[in-house]
Structure 1
Amino acid sequence: MTTFIFDVLKDLQNNNSNLSELTFILPSKRAGLFLKHQLYKVSNQTIFSPTIISIEEFVEELSQLQTISNTELLFEFYSTYCQITKKEETDTFEVFSKWAQILLQDFNEIDRYLIPQENIFNYLIAIKEIENHHWSLEKNQTAFIKNYLSFWNKLHTYYTHFSKQLLNKKIGYQGLIYREAVENLELYIQNNSEKQHVFLGFNALNTCEETIIQELLKNNLAKIYWDIDTAFFNSANHDAGLFTRQHHQKWPYFKNNLFNWITNNYSTQKNISTFGIPKNIGQAKHIGSLLKRLQNENLNLQNTAVVLGDENLLIPVLNALPENIDALNITMGFPLKSIPLAWLFETLFYIHKTPSNSFYYKDVINVMSHQFIRPLFNIDQVDYASKIIETVDANNIIYLTADRLKEIAPYSVVIIDLLFSNWGKTIDLALQNCFQLILCIKNHLDDNKAANLLSLEYLFRFNELFNELSRLNTKYQHIKDVSTLFSIYKELLSSETLDFQGEPLQGLQIMGMLESRVLDFETVIISSVNEGVLPSGKSNNSFIPFDVKLENKLPTYKEKDAVYTYHFYRLLQRAKNIYILYNTEADVLTGGEKSRFITQLELEGIHNINHQIVAPQVPVIEASLQTIEKNESLLNNIINVSKKGFSPSSLTSYIRNPIDFYHQKILKIKEHDDVEETVAANTLGTVVHNTLEDFYKPLVGMFITVDIIKNLKSKIEEKVTFHFKNEYKEGDITKGKNLIVFEIAKRYVSNFLDLEIQDLKAGNQIKIVAIEANNEVVVDIPELNFPVKLVGKVDRVDEYNGITRIIDYKTGRVEQNQVEIVNWEELTTDYKKYSKSFQILAYAYMMHRMGDINLPVEAGIISFKNLSAGFLKFAKKDKSGNGAKKDFLITNETLENFKFELNQLILEICDPNIPFTEKEV
């Protein structure tokens, strides 16, 4: 295939142009590389390379001004703003930057299109006065109204002062450089009357570019080559030819000169396929699959481009490339904001932007767990990061100070100071902390430099970024606090990239849409061809209303869409194999349905489009329940557990799910104790249990009275507070949800004591027999040749009017039907219905075997969320006829039935032929 660049060079050679003496001007630097590479194909002898520059470089040369970054431009504008705004009306730099960036874009457009500045600003003021005439005529205007109208009146003043300030310093933004280039054009033409310029590959031109090119053409100092196809140029409605049609019609030069070129490449036969694929990752994976398939078909990688409509697909696409693609060139840089270090500094800025001496524990742990920070806490083979995290968890610390961190990790003082101290004092100190932190990380990585080359490259780029921040702050002194520093950091970070190294003319090309300008490829894969991405759709980041833009011939979203239409179709012009991918899942943030470009391709009828909806290949993984076979080692562990003793809760854990029992009792895996920001239910239960234990332990063996209980009520606040501090450690119970839980705990205890008083006043006699009684009995199971123990602690045993009661406290809600049973065999099979019955029967069985109680007894639960129901007694129900008889007394027969079910359950646990099998939840 031939390319546009080759055709231009061939035409120049055929017209006997001396290529070495020409100045080629292209839309981008990248296109210049390809042009230089094509020279040898048209020249049969050794020649000096011509001058090859981008349009930006050419205009900069004309203007004699130097381009500065958008961030520095913002600082320069703020200096102007402060000079001409009253001090009491001046916005902070952080607030200013939000609206100033939009205004700078408008200044840029006004200059690029040579709009008379005073005219457009006066026009805007008049519009605002008409829109808000009732404000401007109001006699007693508020400060807000005055500031609003004043802002619009000052726009021209801002522009005038700002442009003068930049011109005096010989610097400028793109629009000002373009305007100044036009001013200097006549002088340039006089001084370069023998110089020949070749403009190629241009499409949408601003007024400045049009003026410069037309003047050079008029003075016979230039040639211009367009790259437009007949299919687009001759169609009055096709946006791909919108700008070239306008240039052809309006430029006087083309009344007497040829319009080079209108080609006829688009209509040649092409293989065009469109693929609808769910999600961005699906597109990335499919690009990998396409390349693998094309490689098997002897694809020429030299002539293949992957064009990313959404440049965020870069990393997923790189990860999806076939392994045997060895030559690769990536035109876009890897965004610094995607590097792990960016997240680290963002977190640090976030936690320091509001000056504070204490830090939220999750932020502290996130910072210390970062891959670049964690190793710095490893001193003399002691992992102080783990020590800090363990201390935070164990003591339930919600907020930490730097001093507390130093207490826990005394040998990590330097790194703790860098991360958590002194940031709020001065901006210089905050930046110094960042530099020192980078140096600390570098020193650690230098220990194994060969393995950490990429990480060291990251550090170098971030060091450059902070050097730029430091330079800007030193030069302008506009950054007054960490919050503003954070905003500028994010502004700089958003435009910084880590450039890939590679041979630009070899291998597979991966590029963004704008990098594809002027270039031609035989095989093209274009991703993210969705509305809102290609084209990008309506966006109006401007103070200039749409109708004012139309009036002044400024570009709107329509022209922006036409630019992308041209780029899209130009990629297709000379290509033979075209693969267009779009996301089938509509996403309002990153694009909607398939692009109108695809619909237009289908409706044109020039090419047959092979359309496919591609679904990712998802392997069918059948859900299987985990099964643990009992080998000799596992059986020995079970024997050890049985010798130490099964508790009622561990047995009910087995009933609920044998795998849970295996994890907890055999493997000894404990759930991680997270920091409780809000008091957890189990902590509340522990506090209530421990408070009642303190109250009733001294009363064992005594008949309680109303006066005794009333006396206990006066101690509720003290005891509950004590136990909360004991359980909740350094967690705060003085505010928020925790205060509510604290009050609930007091209410639970108070309501329980009120229930006792109510019982006593009703004439009932209550004697405390035992509180938190430890029980341990050997279970007689003849089938097993090793001892089996049952252990457990009973919350309370008392005598109620002469009847012994075994009581278990529950802070959750329990109903009477949860402590009743019909069929004994269901006791060990249905956890949800009978786990509470199992527990209280186990306590009764143990106490009876130990001789601590005489049958019959009652056993049951007191539910603090259902106190009005009182003591919920265990009952055996016998269903007969239409009713059900309930037996609340636990007798020998009851315990014999329980013992049988208990033995069967333990035999199942110890049976080598019955594996631990997970239950479906």
Structure 2
Amino acid sequence: MSLYMTPFLQQLARIFYQTYKEEVSNFCFVFPNRRSGLFFEKYLIEEAKMTFFSPQITTTTDFFSQLSQSQIEDKMGLLFRLYTIYTTISKQNESFDSFVSFGEILLRDFDDIDKYMVDAKDLFQNVKDIQHINYISDYLTEEQKAIIQRFWTNFNPEPKRQQDFLATWEILHPLYTAFKEDLNTNKLAYEGMMLRELTEKGIEVEYQKVVFIGFNALSLVEKKLFLQLKKQQKADFYWDYEAEFVQDNTNKASIYMAENVTLFPSELQINPQETPEKYVEAIAVPSSVGQAKHVHQILEQLGADTVGTETAVVLSNENILLPMLYSLPDAVGKVNITMGYPLLFTPIKELIDSLLQLQKSATTNGKGATFFYYKMVVSLLSHRYIYTDEKSDEYKQLISKINQNNWIRVSSTALQTDTLLSLIFSPTDTDSLCGYLLAIIRHLLALKKENTEQDTTNTTLLMEQEFLYQCYTSLQRMDDLLHTWKIPLNLDTLSKLIKRILTGIAIPFEGEPLSGLQIMGMLETRCLDFENLIITSFNEGTFPKNETTPSFVPYNLRRGFGLPTTEHQDAIFAYHFYRLFHRASKVYLLYDTRTDMLNSGEKSRYITQLLLGYGIPIVQKTVTYNTSIAQTKAITIEKTHSVLEKLNAYTTDSDTEIPTRALSASSINTYINCPLQFYFSHIEKINPTDSVSESVEANIFGSIFHYVMEQLFAPYVNKMISKEVLQGLAKNKDTIDSLIQRGFAKYYFKQETIFALQGNNYLVSQVIRKYIIQLLHIEETNMPFLHIQHEYKCEGLFFISNIKRFARIKGSIDRVQTKEGKVMLTDYKTGTGKVKYTSIPALFDGNIKQRQKDILQIFLYGWLYQQATKTPADIDGQIIYIRELFKSNNLNQLSPESNYQKVQDEYLVHLEQCLETIFDPSIPFTQTTCLDNCTYCSFKQICR
């Protein structure tokens, strides 16, 4: 038994050359696609073994187009033309972008009507009558509705929907007629229209013979055109119906066979071949990307270094193309891709979306300066086509600058640092939008061309160049049409239109198929045969596709008028598969076992048919992955020599020297909560990644509040504050609002420019104002007092006995005031908290939930104030929780333990013990054992 069958096209090439020799130069061979024609030509040359004039080799579309006086218009041009006629006839002002989906359905229906030579007037009258029945359904009984429901599958008894669309059904035939008249006037056509006109006018060819090869499901116009050429004795026909599966009358793949071979018999006889034994695997893989990885293994088994045109990888789902290319074995040499890949899944679609969003986000200030929303800016700077190796450092710094400065609106001038960014971050309008996109793509194409010239074998670069080129040609075509038809569009509508048009584009990869591993879609396999066949996404619903093509013609009318239905599509798909399967020796069918909204996880019906219906042995495999979770190890940082060097920057041998670094209440609290967090933050200085904050977070809120309070009391340093002063400050709302705006500029926008506060920021500013006024009113009960200073900065050296060194500690006290000889230290807190604490030791215990770290801080301020003033003053601490201001007319004070002197000795003992553990060389930095301390930690991902 033969191990490999001779390909169908090779058989034909051999028999034609043996029969006609060089006379075939006068023939025209017509194929379903270009790829099959190329293979046929290759086989013909191999048979001839000499130089001769090649026959004409073409596709059906190209063949009949040459016979027509009309030019085939592209879909985009048809849509613009149809829209203009539709608005004239319907007298509606529907926007073009909302018309596109409607127009695409109409174009498909018009094309089907002409390809199957349907009487359009009769068909659309029936469509209209059905809609009228739906419209008057309120007058039908429930039984009558049910009867009609069973007969008309799209029957809808809801009158609202019918009223909305009734006018549409009325104009379908006038629209069809006017559209075709307009196309005729301009010598344009769509494919079905062109073929119907050729059928009605008749055709003549100059070729000695026209040979149609490898067709199956013919439209009525194709049958009539074939019959015309057959009647002229100019045509010959060859069908690939050798497979037993296709000859089986119970198999959908055979539906068109009997009629085709009867109407269009072959002049030459092709001898049937002996069917080889097959090796078939059905492989269950729980991932689409996993399928690509498994194809790698299959190719290795087949001999990755030797696979060529005899091996095909057929992708049922185009989305898997890029993962497939990245997963191919290095030993695979040349790879040929012939398939349509949706632009929707390419990086260029994401880039265009970001550019459109960028322009929609643009705002202009009073001076004419343009600002862009930061998210769009960062998205573009991070895009793979923009963020190249050469520019990575520069663009990374630009992104970091945006994040660090919290620029929600980024000035265009700050972004235009090179030619590409100057193109991207320039404002545009509706009229210039396509030109703006085209200029950017032109620049990117030039950059890609330079890269591909340096690396001509890089498949990814070549594909990306093709992505850009296809996008460019589509946008250029759209720009031309917009200027031709002058359809009024605003920026938002045009953006939607561009995205909609690009979503429908498939990039036609058509390489040289005569060498290398073949990667293709199912339609591209027509007429071709492969020894090794690998099909991915072999799932029910994907292979065959379980989708209904949208149409304005109901299912039963389509059947009644001979238009293609879902059964037609199923039969075509079955034929393609079984024909391809027939001559393969090794077949690998991979399917995704995952179950989600888009995938049932069910293998294709064809596996069951092969196994049970035809008794084909199938080896069934399941690919599994190890999903065990690695155990998390505890992290311990020993105080090595290098760690101690960094740690010693906080200490000094002498009380006359100042260490370069200083501890604070915050850093001490961090150590108590988690020594490891302290190590990351204060020893290694690892900062959490900066990001722009669109909302006013608690720390920003607190900074603005502190700033306003400091500025309000700035004129009263070392002055007595009376009730009248506080009342005057509270009444001066304009001053408070102005200071709040300046606070926003400084701490939120981080720019000198003062912006008018809007939206959520305005609401926050009003909250801050209310809190400040309320605090000023409450302060009236504490009058009079001497205001010493706001934001009082102080520091001191604390001697640590066990290491015999001084640690530098610093702090910034929110407010210092005196009254009746007692010093009051005030600390503002934006959150909430309790002013009571159980004991001093509890303040230094990191395992206590909701430890009162605020009280630890206010007592530390007491020690710092004494160090700064060198006086043993009587000191009280006061914590003002801003959110509590409206709950009481009395300030929340630490009482009765608020007096620092009462707890000073015990507090300092525990403070020294804490500092001793920080600086003790033998005590490592370890993770906290209290998981509550991890909740808001910036480093918790490291510990997991």
Specify the alignment match of 2:179 in structure 1.
162
Are residues 1:6 and 2:10 paired? yes
Give the unaligned 5+ runs of structure 1: 876-886
**Letter of the aligned partner of 1:294 in structure 2?**
L
Matches within 5 A, 1:808-827: 808-816=827-835, 819-821=837-839, 823-824=841-842, 826-827=844-845
Matches within 5 A, 1:777-792: 777-792=796-811
In the TM superposition, residue 522 of structure 1 has moved relative to its aligned partner by 1.4
In the TM superposition, residue 496 of structure 1 has moved relative to its aligned partner by 5.6
In the TM superposition, residue 371 of structure 1 has moved relative to its aligned partner by 6.1
- Within the candidate set 19, 23, 41, 2:28 is matched to 23
In the TM superposition, residue 785 of structure 1 has moved relative to its aligned partner by 4.4
Q: Which moved more, 1:641-650 or 1:429-438?
A: 429-438
Q: Is contact 2:358-2:377 (8 Å) kept?
A: no
Q: Is contact 1:656-1:830 (8 Å) kept?
A: no
Q: Is contact 1:305-1:509 (8 Å) kept?
A: yes
C-alpha separation between the residues in 2 aligned to 1:825 and 1:756? 29
Residue deviations 1:811-838 (CA, integer Å, cap 9, x gap): 1121356x43474585355574243343
Superposition RMSD in Å: 4.3
Q: Is contact 1:279-1:583 (8 Å) kept?
A: yes
Specify the alignment match of 2:279 in structure 1.
271
Specify the alignment match of 1:882 in structure 2.
none
Q: The residue matched to 1:330 in structure 2 has which SS?
A: strand
Specify the alignment match of 2:128 in structure 1.
125
In the TM superposition, residue 309 of structure 1 has moved relative to its aligned partner by 0.4
Q: The residue matched to 1:199 in structure 2 has which SS?
A: strand
Specify the alignment match of 2:148 in structure 1.
none
Specify the alignment match of 1:883 in structure 2.
none
Matches within 5 A, 1:327-346: 327-332=334-339, 340-346=347-353
Specify the alignment match of 1:863 in structure 2.
881
Specify the alignment match of 2:615 in structure 1.
606
**Letter of the aligned partner of 1:98 in structure 2?**
S
Residue deviations 1:221-248 (CA, integer Å, cap 9, x gap): 4343332366534645422223325656
C-alpha separation between the residues in 2 aligned to 1:334 and 1:134? 45
Q: Is contact 1:230-1:263 (8 Å) kept?
A: no
- Within the candidate set 718, 729, 746, 1:712 is matched to 729
Matches within 5 A, 1:798-877: 806-816=825-835, 819-821=837-839, 823-824=841-842, 826-828=844-846, 830=848, 832-849=850-867, 859=877, 861-867=879-885, 868=887
In the TM superposition, residue 304 of structure 1 has moved relative to its aligned partner by 0.8
Q: Is contact 1:29-1:54 (8 Å) kept?
A: yes
C-alpha separation between the residues in 1 aligned to 2:130 and 2:452? 63
Matches within 5 A, 1:687-706: 687-695=704-712, 706=723
Matches within 5 A, 1:439-458: 450-451=453-454, 454=461
Specify the alignment match of 1:106 in structure 2.
109
Q: Is contact 1:720-1:745 (8 Å) kept?
A: no
In the TM superposition, residue 803 of structure 1 has moved relative to its aligned partner by 6.8
- Within the candidate set 314, 319, 342, 2:321 is matched to 314
Q: Which moved more, 1:573-582 or 1:800-809?
A: 800-809
Q: Is contact 1:700-1:770 (8 Å) kept?
A: yes
**Letter of the aligned partner of 1:155 in structure 2?**
L
C-alpha separation between the residues in 2 aligned to 1:638 and 1:767? 40
**Letter of the aligned partner of 1:280 in structure 2?**
S
Q: Is contact 2:14-2:43 (8 Å) kept?
A: no
C-alpha separation between the residues in 2 aligned to 1:446 and 1:597? 44
C-alpha separation between the residues in 2 aligned to 1:136 and 1:161? 35
Specify the alignment match of 1:244 in structure 2.
257
Q: Is contact 1:479-1:485 (8 Å) kept?
A: no
Distance 1:549 1:461, change over 3 A: closer
Q: Is contact 2:288-2:320 (8 Å) kept?
A: yes
C-alpha separation between the residues in 1 aligned to 2:524 and 2:770? 70
Q: Is contact 2:415-2:425 (8 Å) kept?
A: no
C-alpha separation between the residues in 1 aligned to 2:361 and 2:903? 66
Specify the alignment match of 1:93 in structure 2.
96
C-alpha separation between the residues in 2 aligned to 1:417 and 1:6? 53
Residue deviations 1:757-811 (CA, integer Å, cap 9, x gap): 4x55xxx987766643333221111222442122112234556888765442211
Specify the alignment match of 1:880 in structure 2.
none
Specify the alignment match of 1:878 in structure 2.
none
- Within the candidate set 327, 339, 363, 2:376 is matched to 363
Matches within 5 A, 1:252-267: none
**Letter of the aligned partner of 1:270 in structure 2?**
K
Distance 1:69 1:258, change over 3 A: same
**Letter of the aligned partner of 1:737 in structure 2?**
N
C-alpha separation between the residues in 2 aligned to 1:299 and 1:377? 37
Specify the alignment match of 2:43 in structure 1.
38
Q: The residue matched to 1:684 in structure 2 has which SS?
A: helix
Q: The residue matched to 1:582 in structure 2 has which SS?
A: strand
Q: Is contact 1:308-1:513 (8 Å) kept?
A: yes
Residue deviations 1:598-655 (CA, integer Å, cap 9, x gap): 3434443612322223124568654345554444343232222342421010111223
Are residues 1:728 and 2:745 paired? no
Matches within 5 A, 1:467-482: 467-478=476-487, 480-482=489-491
Are residues 1:615 and 2:612 paired? no
Give the unaligned 5+ runs of structure 2: 141-158, 365-369, 652-658, 935-944
Distance 1:119 1:678, change over 3 A: same
Specify the alignment match of 2:760 in structure 1.
737
Are residues 1:302 and 2:309 paired? yes
**Letter of the aligned partner of 1:319 in structure 2?**
Y
- Within the candidate set 200, 208, 213, 2:226 is matched to 213
In the TM superposition, residue 170 of structure 1 has moved relative to its aligned partner by 3.2
In the TM superposition, residue 524 of structure 1 has moved relative to its aligned partner by 1.0
Distance 1:277 1:78, change over 3 A: same
- Within the candidate set 61, 64, 68, 1:63 is matched to 68
**Letter of the aligned partner of 2:65 in structure 1?**
E
Q: Count the aligned residue pairs.
A: 879
Q: Which moved more, 1:482-491 or 1:20-29?
A: 482-491
C-alpha separation between the residues in 2 aligned to 1:66 and 1:390? 54
Matches within 5 A, 1:317-466: 317-332=324-339, 340-352=347-359, 357=364, 358=370, 359-367=372-380, 396-399=406-409, 405-406=412-413, 408=414, 416=422, 419-424=425-430, 427=431, 429-438=432-441, 450-451=453-454, 454=461, 463-466=472-475
Residue deviations 1:380-409 (CA, integer Å, cap 9, x gap): x996x7897677556655445xxx534x57
Q: Is contact 1:815-1:866 (8 Å) kept?
A: no
Residue deviations 1:33-85 (CA, integer Å, cap 9, x gap): 11122225655776543332222223323434332211122233334445x43
**Letter of the aligned partner of 2:282 in structure 1?**
T
C-alpha separation between the residues in 1 aligned to 2:436 and 2:827? 57
% same residue: 28
**Letter of the aligned partner of 2:38 in structure 1?**
L
**Letter of the aligned partner of 1:66 in structure 2?**
Q
Distance 1:324 1:62, change over 3 A: same
In the TM superposition, residue 694 of structure 1 has moved relative to its aligned partner by 4.0
Q: The residue matched to 1:773 in structure 2 has which SS?
A: strand
**Letter of the aligned partner of 2:550 in structure 1?**
N
Specify the alignment match of 2:149 in structure 1.
none
In the TM superposition, residue 337 of structure 1 has moved relative to its aligned partner by 5.4
What TM-score do you get using the length of structure 2 for normalisation? 0.82
Specify the alignment match of 1:517 in structure 2.
526
Specify the alignment match of 2:939 in structure 1.
none
Specify the alignment match of 1:879 in structure 2.
none
Are residues 1:280 and 2:288 paired? yes
Q: Is contact 2:310-2:530 (8 Å) kept?
A: yes
Distance 1:272 1:394, change over 3 A: closer
Q: The residue matched to 1:110 in structure 2 has which SS?
A: helix
Residue deviations 1:268-302 (CA, integer Å, cap 9, x gap): 53222222222321221121222123327x86433
